[in-house]
């Protein structure tokens, strides 16, 4: 009888001493910051920026691309003006019109 009580007390002590499982909220990491699920961030990869959202994929956090550009980014200038034709070979002799 005394042994049963001793085992119960030891079991109770282990149960109370066991750390409780605390689950941290899932977050995504980018630019040195943590982002909660559903939050968006501007990510830059290989010199290209895009807007991405923090999502859960197969029980892991992951970034999902939602736009090709980030809000507030200036549009990239066109390499040549739309009304300016691309340069071509220069004629060496006068041509007939």
This prediction's pTM: 0.51
Contact 38, 14 (CB under 8 A): no
CATH number, domain at 38?
A: 2.10.70.10
pLDDT along the chain (97 residues), means of 10: 66 58 78 91 88 92 91 63 67 72
DSSP assignment of 45-81, as one string?
ETTEEEEEEEEEETTEEEEEEEESS-TTPPPPPPSS-
The total of structural domains in the chain comes to 1
3-state helix, strand, coil in the chain (%, to 5): 15, 35, 50
Residue 69 lies in domain: 25-73
């Amino acid at each position: 009888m005394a042994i049963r009580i001793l085992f119960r007390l030891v079991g109770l002590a282990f149960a109370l001493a066991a750390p409780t499982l605390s689950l941290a909220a899932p977050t995504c990491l980018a630019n040195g910051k943590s982002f909660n699920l559903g939050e968006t961030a501007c990510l830059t990869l290989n010199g290209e920026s895009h807007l991405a959202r923090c999502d859960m994929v197969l029980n892991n956090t992951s970034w999902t691309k939602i736009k090709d550009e980030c809000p507030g980014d200036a549009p990239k200038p066109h390499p040549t003006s739309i009304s300016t034709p691309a340069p071509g070979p220069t004629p060496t002799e006068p041509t007939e019109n």
